[in-house]
């Protein structure tokens, strides 16, 4: 995949004049190596593409490497930090909160850390939400809990009022944890801060269980979602195999991207059909999904189907552009639609089927993170702190080419990562399921 040439420069608030309290250590002591802004991670690791760019005289697009800097912009002893979680729940939110608080407190000695309750509403006076004083004892065990101790909310709030609140509280660094809508709001907040001439850092931690944030190779909570989704697949397989013409139908998260559906299928290879937003399919006809399902039942007597929530929206009449509080188009329920369509199809043919429908979505969203996501969140949260203390702003901390890096908000916000049907993940799904094309043409 060839990436567009983008400006990867990260804005900073000013020169770094304060020595970091993080020590390199003497021989035999714990060392924490400092990172320089000149340490980069290239976006594209395809040698053919790299050679083409070099021959054309282009500079290789690369991200700043995340990590602690030797000198800081902010004085930790006088710094006040704010933290907010926005949008839908996701495994790992509490892990991110915990990592940020512990690194600020123990790594840098920051004493004043405040959590804004219920998303962006927490900044708006009319909602009268309390501010949470975040200390190490407050967050000590929260990684064992699902959800977010700060709560959340959806929907926009007035940017100027948010900045008013931040300015009144003399916040120096604002950490915003959320998905695409939150990151776009974070960019607007950072712009408003700049227009006022304020020295406030805004650092984003990308959150989406769907793993669809552009220029972020993996988002926290995704590993946990796949882990639990495989259990749902296993249950659906056991149910379908136990009855004549048994069908297990599982709806998983994935509004615009089918990463959870595809990855869970490869992790638990009991699935016969995977339906995702990126790959079109027909419902009826000689080469359609229902025809292939009938053939599967005739051959093997049972079938397991995984469908991402954003798949098959073309089958609904009178689709509107109605949106939810976060600005997302309200999707029709493809899971229940397929359930009814399958039952009706086989009923008209006089074939008895036993269909079990499973939708684990909200159960997955509110679970604690698994071990892999625990580790991942710890790195994300701590690197977000390092970036903020160094006066960097209007950036995301994300994973790219096996490194944690700084990504400009402007490069990612408003864009979406999707499965490429020509690449390894989807080709692996086709190999595991044997489903082939489900289109008539």
Q: Report yes or no on 10 lying in a domain.
A: no
Do 359 and 231 lie in one domain? The reply is yes
Residue 338 has pLDDT above 50, yes or no: yes
pLDDT of residue 27: 55
CA–CA dist 65, 318 (Å, integer): 48
pLDDT of residue 413: 81
Residue 331 has pLDDT above 60, yes or no: yes
CA–CA dist 98, 137 (Å, integer): 10
3-state helix, strand, coil in the chain (%, to 5): 40, 20, 45
Do 329 and 346 lie in one domain? The reply is yes
Do 57 and 192 lie in one domain? The reply is yes
Do 195 and 320 lie in one domain? The reply is no
CA–CA dist 228, 369 (Å, integer): 10
Residue 365 has pLDDT above 80, yes or no: yes
Do 249 and 211 lie in one domain? The reply is no
Query: For the residues of 196-212, what is the DSSP string, one character each?
Result: TT---EEEEEEB-TT--
Q: Evaluate whether 330 touches 319 at the Cβ level (below 8 Å).
A: no
Q: Count CA atoms within 13 Å of residue 93 on its CB side.
A: 31
pLDDT of residue 362: 85
Using DSSP, state whether 64 is helix, strand or coil. strand
Q: Report yes or no on 376 lying in a domain.
A: yes
Burial of 84 (0-12, 13-18, 19+ CB in 10 A): buried
**In sequence order, what are the residues at sequence separation of 6 or more whose Cβ sits closer than 8 angstroms to the Cβ of residue 264?**
225, 226, 229, 230, 232, 233, 252, 306
pLDDT tens digits along 92-124: 999 999 999 999 999 999 999 999 999 999 999
Do 41 and 152 lie in one domain? The reply is yes
For the annotated catalytic residues, the residue numbers are 210
Do 66 and 215 lie in one domain? The reply is yes
Residue 28 has pLDDT above 50, yes or no: no
Q: Report yes or no on 1 lying in a domain.
A: no
Q: Report yes or no on 316 lying in a domain.
A: yes
When pLDDT is averaged across residues 409-427 and rounded to a whole number, the result is 93
Taking the CA atoms of 6, 395, 163 and 159 in sequence, report the sign of the dihedral they define: positive
CB atoms within 10 A of CB 141: 10
Of the pLDDT bands very low, low, confident and very high (cuts 50, 70, 90), residue 318 is low
Do 210 and 269 lie in one domain? The reply is no
Tally of structural domains, the chain = 2
pLDDT tens digits along 163-210: 999 999 999 999 999 998 999 999 999 999 999 999 999 999 999 999
Q: Report yes or no on 196 lying in a domain.
A: yes
CA–CA dist 141, 34 (Å, integer): 29
pLDDT tens digits along 239-285: 999 999 999 999 999 999 999 999 999 999 999 999 999 999 999 99
Do 213 and 228 lie in one domain? The reply is no
**In sequence order, what are the residues at sequence separation of 6 or more whose Cβ sits closer than 8 angstroms to the Cβ of residue 374?**
92, 95, 143
DSSP 85: E
- Structural domain span for residue 183: 18-219+367-412
Mean pLDDT of the chain: 92
Pairing of strands 246-252, 354-358: parallel
Do 271 and 349 lie in one domain? The reply is yes
When pLDDT is averaged across residues 337-353 and rounded to a whole number, the result is 97
Q: Evaluate whether 277 touches 254 at the Cβ level (below 8 Å).
A: yes
When pLDDT is averaged across residues 73-83 and rounded to a whole number, the result is 98
Of the pLDDT bands very low, low, confident and very high (cuts 50, 70, 90), residue 1 is low
DSSP 213: B
Q: Report yes or no on 5 lying in a domain.
A: no
Q: Report yes or no on 76 lying in a domain.
A: yes
When pLDDT is averaged across residues 402-426 and rounded to a whole number, the result is 93
Pairing of strands 403-408, 62-65: antiparallel
**In sequence order, what are the residues at sequence separation of 6 or more whose Cβ sits closer than 8 angstroms to the Cβ of residue 317?**
none
pLDDT of residue 307: 98
What CATH number should be reported for the domain holding residue 135?
Answer: 3.40.50.450
Using DSSP, state whether 309 is helix, strand or coil. coil
Residue 85: which of 50, 121, 138, 57 has the closest Cα? 121
When pLDDT is averaged across residues 296-320 and rounded to a whole number, the result is 91
Do 122 and 264 lie in one domain? The reply is no
What CATH number should be reported for the domain holding residue 266?
Answer: 3.40.50.460
Do 72 and 157 lie in one domain? The reply is yes
**In sequence order, what are the residues at sequence separation of 6 or more whose Cβ sits closer than 8 angstroms to the Cβ of residue 243?**
302, 354
Q: Report yes or no on 439 lying in a domain.
A: no
Q: Which helix (H) or strand (E) holds 139?
A: helix 136-139
């Amino acid at each position: 995949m060839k990436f567009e040439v983008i400006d990867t420069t990260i804005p900073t608030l000013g020169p770094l004049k304060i020595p970091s309290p993080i020590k390199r250590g003497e021989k035999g002591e714990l060392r924490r190596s400092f990172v320089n802004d000149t340490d980069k991670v290239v976006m594209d690791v395809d040698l053919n593409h790299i050679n083409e760019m070099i021959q054309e005289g282009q500079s290789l697009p690369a991200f700043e490497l995340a990590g602690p800097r030797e000198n800081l912009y902010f004085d930790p002893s006088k710094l006040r930090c704010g933290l907010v979680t926005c949008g839908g729940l996701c495994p790992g939110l509490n892990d991110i909160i915990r990592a940020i608080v512990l690194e600020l407190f123990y790594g840098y000695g920051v004493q004043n850390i405040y959590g804004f309750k219920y998303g962006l509403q927490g900044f708006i006076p009319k909602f009268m939400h309390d501010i949470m004083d975040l200390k190490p004892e407050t967050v000590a065990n929260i990684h064992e809990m699902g959800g977010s101790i700060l709560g959340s909310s959806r929907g926009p709030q007035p940017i100027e009022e948010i900045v008013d609140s931040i300015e009144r509280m003399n916040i120096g660094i604002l950490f915003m944890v959320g998905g695409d809508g939150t990151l776009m709001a974070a960019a607007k907040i950072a712009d408003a801060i700049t227009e006022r001439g304020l020295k406030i850092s805004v650092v984003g931690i990308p959150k989406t269980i769907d793993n669809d944030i552009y220029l972020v190779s993996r988002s926290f909570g995704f590993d946990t979602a796949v882990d639990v989704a495989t259990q749902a697949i296993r249950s659906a397989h056991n149910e379908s195999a136990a009855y004549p013409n048994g069908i297990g139908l599982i709806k998983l998260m994935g509004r615009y991207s089918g990463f959870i559906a595809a990855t869970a299928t490869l992790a638990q290879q009991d699935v016969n059909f995977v339906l995702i937003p990126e790959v079109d399919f027909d419902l009826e006809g000689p080469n359609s999904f229902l025809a292939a399902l009938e053939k599967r039942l005739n051959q093997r007597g049972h079938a397991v189907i995984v469908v991402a929530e954003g798949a098959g929206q073309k089958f609904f009449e009178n689709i509107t552009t109605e949106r939810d509080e976060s600005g997302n188009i309200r999707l029709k329920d493809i899971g229940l639609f397929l359930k009814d369509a399958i039952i009706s199809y086989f009923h008209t043919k006089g074939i008895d089927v036993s269909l079990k429908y499973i939708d684990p979505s909200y159960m997955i969203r509110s679970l604690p993170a698994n071990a892999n996501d625990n580790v991942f969140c710890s790195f994300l949260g701590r690197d977000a702190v390092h970036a903020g203390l160094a006066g960097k702003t209007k950036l995301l901390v994300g994973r790219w080419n096996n490194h944690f890096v700084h990504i400009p908000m402007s490069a990612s916000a408003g864009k979406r990562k999707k499965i490429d049907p020509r690449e390894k993940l989807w080709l692996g799904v086709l190999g595991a399921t044997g489903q082939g094309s489900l289109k008539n043409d």
